[in-house]
Structure 1
Amino acid sequence: MRSSNIWSEFRGNNHVELSKKYGCSVQWIYTVVRTMSKIKQAEVQGDLFGGDD
Structure 2
Amino acid sequence: MPRFIVRFIKNVLGDNGQMDEICQTAIELDAPNGREAELQAKEDYDLERGFGSSDCL
Q: Shorter-normalised TM-score: what interval?
A: 0.3 to 0.5
Normalising by structure 2, report the TM-score: 0.37
Q: Select the structure that is richer in helix.
A: 1
TM-score (norm 1): 0.39
